[in-house]
Amino acid sequence: MKLARVETADGIESGRYEDGTVITDSGEFEVCVDGSLRAPCDPGSIYCVGRNYAATLDQMDYNRPDQPDWFLKPAVAAHDPGVPVEYPAWTDELTYAGELAAVIDHECTALDGERAVRQAVRGWTILNDLDALDQPGRTARKAFDGSAPLGPVIETDIDPRAVEMTTHVGGELRQEATTGRMLFDPYELVAFLSTRYTFRPGDVVALGSPANPGLIEPGETVDIWYEGIGHLRNTVVTPE
């Protein structure tokens, strides 16, 4: 089942997504007619795992981590699907990275094993980990307004360990992989981070990028596809 959030004239509605329509307790809303899709959750925190694909380690000349490597993006990093992303004026090296992400369903901590994680995760969505590569330090590079486009929906019924993905930029194929190549299993990652943090409803755990994250320029559209979820598309634009 797919879940989505749509902004209507009366506010944001959440419900089941079917064939371009969001079905909620108060009615049915056709996307682009009755309202626009918004990020499928409202995270308080976005936990991003890095260095989780062997090919990425080889490409970036990183050492293989003994345990998951991660960083945080703030709530203001969340960005809606389909809405243009402004190229920050303070960087000359903006990069994309197409990632699978878990969405937390309820407050939880210290999750013990895969079954507990399954019960805690609402479903799976897509995150574009935007990175201002020329900035000093990971927080300065990654934790800024709009640096985490999310969506378009949450899929509740996929195996996150066997999902195909692609990323196209300006129509050119840049990434192609499967989540089966992750170094750390998706359930293992969520469980590990839950030993450090108390997750809250809507929080996001992004699971790392396959090889070939790269530069984007104003005017280019980043199209990230994950099997079973769909396409997260955002066009990069020059600030007005």
Instruction: Give mean pLDDT, residues 15-25.
Output: 96
Res 147: pLDDT: 98
Instruction: Give mean pLDDT, residues 197-207.
Output: 98
Res 90: pLDDT: 97
Q: Is the pLDDT of residue 206 over 70?
A: yes
Res 63: pLDDT: 64
Arch. (CATH architecture) of 39-237:
Alpha-Beta Complex (3.90)
Over the stretch 98-127, which tens digit does the pLDDT of each residue have? 999 999 999 999 999 999 999 999 999 999
131 in helix, strand or coil?
strand
Res 55: pLDDT: 65
Q: How confident is the model at residue 139 (pLDDT cuts 50, 70, 90)?
A: very high
| Per-residue DSSP letter, 179 | G
Of the chain, the percentage scoring pLDDT greater than 70 comes to 96
Omega within 30 of 0 (cis) for the link into 152? yes
Q: Please tell me the distance from the alpha carbon of residue 110 to that of residue 199, in angstroms, as a whole number.
A: 9
Q: Is the pLDDT of residue 132 over 90?
A: yes
Please provide the average confidence, as pLDDT, over all residues in the chain. 94
Res 190: pLDDT: 98
Strand stretches in the chain, DSSP E? 2-8, 11-18, 21-24, 27-30, 36-38, 45-50, 69-74, 78-79, 85-86, 94-95, 98-104, 121-128, 131-132, 148-155, 164-169, 172-178, 204-206, 221-226, 230-237
Over the stretch 56-83, which tens digit does the pLDDT of each residue have? 555 555 667 789 999 999 999 999 999 9
Instruction: Give mean pLDDT, residues 42-58.
Output: 84
Per-domain boundaries in the chain: 1-38, 39-237
Q: How confident is the model at residue 51 (pLDDT cuts 50, 70, 90)?
A: confident
Residue pair 124/102 in contact by the 8 Å Cβ criterion: yes
Fold classification of 1-38 (topology level): SH3 type barrels. (2.30.30)
Res 43: pLDDT: 98
Quote the pTM value.
0.95
Q: Please tell me the distance from the alpha carbon of residue 228 to that of residue 107, in angstroms, as a whole number.
A: 26
Res 240: pLDDT: 74
Tokens standing for residue 184: 């750390």
Res 211: pLDDT: 83
Res 136: pLDDT: 95
Q: Is the pLDDT of residue 213 over 70?
A: yes
